[in-house]
Structures are given as C-alpha cells and as structure tokens.
Amino acid sequence: MYLKDYLFFIAAILVCLVFSGWASAKVHSAYAAFSEEKTRSNMTGYDTAVRLLRANGVTDISVGRISGRLSDHYHPTKKTVNLSTSTYGDNSVAAVAVAAHEIGHVMQNKRGYLPYKIRTALVPVANFGSFLAMPLVLIGVLLDAFLLAGSDSRLGFTFALIGVAFYGAATLFQLVTLPVEFNASKRARKMLVEEGVLTEEESVGAKRVLDAAALTYVAGLATSLVYFLRFFVWVLTIFGRRRR
C-alpha cells in the first residue's frame, strides 16, 4: 500500500509539473502576442496605473519601476505599485493589463475585500508554517520513539500533526489567492474600459493575458495540495507502522 501511495504521489506531481509548464508557456505566449498590440489610447503601463489610481481617489500610493519581466507587484506596507521594466514604459495591451491588475489589488486593499484581507493575514503564518513544518514532524517522530516504549502517550503524534497543520497553512494561502487574483483581474478589465485606457475590443486581449496569468495560480494550488496530502499521508503511515 505504501509503494502504491508513493507511485500515485509521483504521478500526481508529474501531472502538476506538466500543468505548471503549460500554464507558464500560455502566460508568456499571451503576453508576447499582446505586447505587439499597441493601445489606441497610447497609454503606457505607468500612465495606466496613475490614471486608475486618480480615478478611484487613491492619492497615497506611488508607482515605481523595478527590473525584470512580469515581476510587477503591489506592496501594501510600502504603499507602492512596482511595475517591471517590460510594463512601466510600454503602451501595449499586455502592459496596461498587467498594470491595471496591480491597481486591482490596491482597490481590494482600500475597499476591504475579504479574501484579500484573509490572504494578507495568512502571509506570515504560511511563511512561518512552511519553515517549522518538517522540524515539528521530526520532533514528533523522536518523541514517539522515546515515549511509546514507556506509555501510550500521543504527544509525538500531536507534534507531527501540528507540523502538518503548519504546512497546510501554505496550501490554504494558495487557495485564498485564487479568488484574490481572479477578482483583481475582473476589476482591472472593468477599470480599463471605464477609464478609456482600452476599448471593448482591446479588452478582449487584456482578458486573455490576465486569464493566462491566473492559470499559474491554479497550478500552484494543485501542486501545493498534492504535497500537503502526501505529507499528511506520510505522517499517518509512519505513526501507523510504529504502533503496530
């Protein structure tokens, strides 16, 4: 049974790797295609970010430039929207779509979008959890080895399960990320048309770019879930064997 579970895990990971590779290729393909399509408004990524912020009455967020390609992100603590070199000064449909997506995150924060607040709260828990998960499981295994001979204590198993729960926080973070990213893209497409950055026709291209990007988050969730389930089954298998 253990070998069968292991082979199933390997197969699931391979599927996730293929899906992740396909999603990544789709993002780069869509971005490359619509990087060639220039906006009729002639607005760049920077222009778009500034206009959308002003249109929504946001005055405390700055827009900066960072190196890289598709490394754009919103930093709520520093109150900055960082646009990559490929987005900042480019007036393509792809560039303004990416810039508007980051403003979508700004608006989620400003308007108290619940999934965004949950994801923000999970960031330290997920980071802390992924770091502590394996040490807690190993502590649990060692405690079980020393205590099982002298008592029926479940202390070791409890420690191991706490480790699994910590690891699960990272998977939960990935799960909450999905509605956050999809909602930011929805806000972006709406703002782009309403503020005249893109026409309805051009917004179709923006949607393709943003939908492709969203697939990478789906792939991330699938991979995280498979590893979490494998981790959970591994702990149950170890302790099940020790108590036979």
Q: Say if residues 81 and 101 touch (Cβ distance below 8 Å).
A: no
Q: How far apart are CA 138 and CA 155, in angstroms?
A: 12
Range in 100-104, 173-177, 238-242 the model is least confident about: 238-242
Quote the pLDDT of residue 136.
Answer: 61
Q: Could you report how far apart the first and last alpha carbons of the chain are, in Å?
A: 15
Q: How far apart are CA 122 and CA 100, in angstroms?
A: 24
pLDDT above 90 for 203: yes
Quote the pLDDT of residue 6.
Answer: 74
- Treating both helix axes as pointing N-terminal to C-terminal, what angle do 155-194 and 93-110 enclose, rounded to 10 degrees? 120
Percent of the chain topping pLDDT 70: 84
More confident residue, 124 or 102: 102
More confident residue, 69 or 63: 63
Q: How far apart are CA 97 and CA 193, in angstroms?
A: 11
- Count the alpha carbons within 13 Å of 124 in the hemisphere toward its beta carbon: 2
Quote the pLDDT of residue 7.
Answer: 82
Q: Say if residues 219 and 6 touch (Cβ distance below 8 Å).
A: no
Q: How far apart are CA 39 and CA 44, in angstroms?
A: 8
Residues tagged active-site: 102
pLDDT above 60 for 87: yes
DSSP 61: -
Quote the pLDDT of residue 133.
Answer: 59
Q: pLDDT by residue (tens digit) across 107-153?
A: 999 999 999 999 999 888 777 666 665 666 666 566 555 655 545 55
pLDDT above 90 for 18: yes
Kind and range of the H or E run holding 64: strand 62-66
Percent of the chain topping pLDDT 90: 62
More confident residue, 235 or 45: 45
